[in-house]
Chain A
Amino acid sequence: MAYFLQITFAGIALGCIYALIGLGFSIIFKASEVINFAQGELLLVGAYVTSSAVFEWHFNFILAVLVGVVVTVLIGLIFERFVLRRMLGRPIFAVLMITIGLDTILRTALIVRWGSNPIPAAAPYTITSGFNLSGIHIGFNDLLTVLVTVILCAMLFYFFRYTRYGLAMRATALDQEAALAVGINVRVVYALAWGIAAGIATIGGVFLAIGSYAMDPTLGGAALLAFPAIILGGVDSVTGAVVGGIIIGLVQDLTAGYESYVTSFLGAGIHQITPYLVMILVLLIRPYGLFGTRKVERI
């Protein structure tokens, strides 16, 4: 039982990372209808830059994270301003492809700058540090991940509900033309969306890196699991991003934790595909995810 609770907690923490990725993705998608395939890669960039800031330029951890956020936000803003702006009105397929292009560029740039070998992740505490709560080991990293995610969600909630720009973003998400008509500066909204998404991605990336013992480009593959989370929750739903993330994180860690029981007849590595299987199951019943909405084609 303790084992189960331990894994559950770890799963929720992992799910929070997926939720952060998904949140950024949803915010961008809702604001501009862009499907950002590179969302997970932005995570990595943030984590790598943070690590360099700590180990190569000797910043302290908080400052390093800030540097990571700034760099990622810059990348996001530049991409949005100079590439995506020109893709307005183009079919979603094309925009998706262009973010795949961005993903490839980022991944390769990472390898060129930092190599393919693992490098240490920046962490203000050791990876195994934590404490015991009635037999369950609670890792600091996991705890912090959950806490920070909750705080970020609360901040975002407040931002969208009660601030001017939050309202502007929600309006743009509902109807871009109407938003333009009432004088909302949609360009600022786009920039904000990408900025927020990139910033959240960095934070998620830092936690993911700490929790992964070593950081190498294949970590991007881990972040890829955020996509079934996003799909499961519904591409255009912020709630869905969080719920989907938690579900996928739980599924992944629970199956990994109990995998040894089934390896004999199911083979190794099943925990890598259970998230996708769960996603497919959900899609069978709800083709637009749990909270997603149907898109209407006009004729």
Chain B
Amino acid sequence: MKTSIKDRPTTETSPRMRFMEGKLSRWIVTALIIALVIVFFSVADDDWFSIVNYTLIAAIAAIALNVLSGYTGQVSLGIAFFMAIGAYTAAYLGGKVPTSSEDALGLGLPFILWLPASGLVAALVGGLIGPVALRLKGFYLGIVSLALIFIGQYIFMNARGITGGPQGRVFPVPAIGDAGFDQQNSFLGLALTSGQQFFLLILIVLLVVAFFVYNVMRSRVGRAFRAVRDNETGATIMGVNLLEAKLGAFVLSSFLAGIAGALFASYSRYITPNYWGLTLSIQFIAAIIIGGIASVWGSILGAAFVFGLPLVIDHFSLLPVSSGSGVISSGDLNALLYGLLIVVFLLFEPGGVIGLAYRVGALLRNFNQHQHEGGEPAEVSDL
């Protein structure tokens, strides 16, 4: 190989190799983050909540994609499809009961039912697709996942009852009792804006998801996933059941994608079916490459870059609305950027931003520490 493996950093998180060294620094960073969150919560205006909320939802979906592609190595362009399944499940279960034949379908069920259900239905569909990955490898699987997107678009465009057809439909909001999150409500004596309520909900879901996935990856199943990614035959010789592993990855990934899709649709209130297209899937692929393959933190950072940054640029109206004749809109600038970054990162820093951080961290540690026998583990990236 041209470059020495020793020079490339890893994003693998075995419990010993932490982002930060030592228990003290970890507590300090955690405290800082909590403080930041509290400050944000108190002072941010609706626009900023919007930016952060969308970014956090995207982070959940990015984690979902990482589970399937980053950790288990299954090439998939289909994440937008599974998000859509989740969104439309939420719409069907939680949407208002139709009063006329013009309205979209809905059962009016409560939020506590439709949110998990959106994940479960998406997981079910993922479970049906999973076995396909046993027969098809690499690019073949990738294009079948591409087919999913288009087949999905066709279904969504035509299933007017559930999706509202090409015009789209309204999506239900989370609610505790009668208090829908789309209005200002009072909880436990505190008056919370819509943005704040969504923020809390999304943050909690993201924390649970991140924690769960992180745990899975440092346990038996996570190791099996990575083995499948690196060498399927070798993995089976070591006892990994390929069907179980791939099925598990698809089911978990689709579940999370469904939840993210439902949250996204709910927060946006109104979505047309052509949103769930190839571009969305590619954005998530960009997110995990830029942030860091096979890394929960990487997924979050990547989502912040690909989804949060253009929203920030728009907020400050730095760029025109559409591109042409040399001018570039924020959406297109972002696309150009993440396209470039995909190339740059894959060329020079396959571990993404997280890999870069590890490398910098290792460099700093080397300055402080005296190199000793078998001391610093060299790092190797996933790509």
Direct contact of A and B (CB under 8 A): yes
Given A112-B328, A269-B154, residue A88 in contact with residue B2 (CB < 8 A): yes
B243 an interface residue at 8 Å Cβ cutoff?
no
Interface centre among A100, A267, A268, A273 (most CB of B within 10 A): A100
A283 touches B144 (CB 8 A): yes
Residues of B within 8 A of A92 (CB): 138-139
Closest to A289 in B: B140
Q: Smallest Cβ distance from A30 to chain B, in angstroms?
A: 14
Q: How many residues of A contact B (CB 8 A)?
A: 55
A276 touches B150 (CB 8 A): yes
Main secondary structure of the interface of B (DSSP, over half): helix
State A266–B157 Cα separation when bound (angstroms).
11
Given A115-B323, A273-B154, residue A104 in contact with residue B347 (CB < 8 A): no
Given A83-B347, A96-B139, A272-B150, residue A112 in contact with residue B339 (CB < 8 A): no
B233 an interface residue at 8 Å Cβ cutoff?
yes
A115 touches B231 (CB 8 A): no
Residues of A within 8 A of B285 (CB): 97, 100
Query: Which residues of chain B (118-140) have a CB below 8 Å from chain A?
Result: 135-140
B147 touches A101 (CB 8 A): no
B147 touches A93 (CB 8 A): no
Given A91-B383, A98-B347, A279-B147, residue A270 in contact with residue B154 (CB < 8 A): yes
State A279–B342 Cα separation when bound (angstroms).
29
Residues of A within 8 A of B207 (CB): none
State A94–B383 Cα separation when bound (angstroms).
6
B151 an interface residue at 8 Å Cβ cutoff?
yes
Residues of B within 8 A of A272 (CB): 150, 153-154
B342 touches A101 (CB 8 A): yes
State A183–B285 Cα separation when bound (angstroms).
39
Given A97-B285, A104-B286, A114-B324, residue A231 in contact with residue B140 (CB < 8 A): yes
A111 touches B151 (CB 8 A): no
State A104–B135 Cα separation when bound (angstroms).
29
Residues of B within 8 A of A279 (CB): 143-144, 147
B332 touches A111 (CB 8 A): yes
Interface size range on B against A: 35 or more
Interface centre among A108, A115, A267 (most CB of B within 10 A): A108
State A116–B12 Cα separation when bound (angstroms).
41
Query: Which residues of chain A (79-99) have a CB below 8 Å from chain B?
Result: 83, 86-94, 96-98
A227 an interface residue at 8 Å Cβ cutoff?
yes
Closest to A115 in B: B324
State A230–B147 Cα separation when bound (angstroms).
13
State A224–B129 Cα separation when bound (angstroms).
22
Interface centre among B142, B144, B343 (most CB of A within 10 A): B343
B342 touches A97 (CB 8 A): yes
B136 touches A86 (CB 8 A): no
Residues of A within 8 A of B142 (CB): 96
Q: Smallest Cβ distance from B156 to chain A, in angstroms?
A: 10
Closest to B328 in A: A112
1/0 contact string of A220-250 vs chain B (CB within 8 Å): 0000100110110001000000000000000
1/0 contact string of B166-207 vs chain A (CB within 8 Å): 000000000000000000000000000000000000000000
B339 touches A104 (CB 8 A): yes
Residues of A within 8 A of B340 (CB): 101, 105
Q: Smallest Cβ distance from B307 to chain A, in angstroms?
A: 15
Interface centre among A230, A235, A270, A273 (most CB of B within 10 A): A273
Q: Can you list 26 pairs linking A and B with CB atoms under 8 Å apart?
A: A86-B2, A89-B1, A91-B383, A92-B139, A97-B342, A101-B343, A101-B346, A103-B339, A104-B335, A104-B336, A104-B339, A109-B336, A111-B324, A115-B324, A116-B324, A228-B143, A228-B147, A268-B158, A272-B153, A273-B151, A276-B147, A279-B144, A287-B135, A287-B136, A289-B140, A295-B137
User: Which are the 9 A-B pairs with shortest beta-carbon distances?
Assistant: A115-B324, A104-B339, A101-B342, A267-B158, A276-B147, A105-B339, A108-B336, A94-B383, A101-B343
* Partner-B contacts on A (CB < 8 A): 35, 83, 86-94, 96-98, 100-105, 107-109, 111-117, 224, 227-228, 230-231, 235, 266-270, 272-273, 276-277, 279-280, 283-284, 287-289, 295, 297, 299
* Partner-A contacts on B (CB < 8 A): 1-2, 69, 73, 75, 135-140, 142-144, 146-147, 150-151, 153-154, 157-158, 231-234, 237, 278, 282, 285-286, 289, 322-328, 332-333, 335-336, 338-343, 346-347, 350, 383
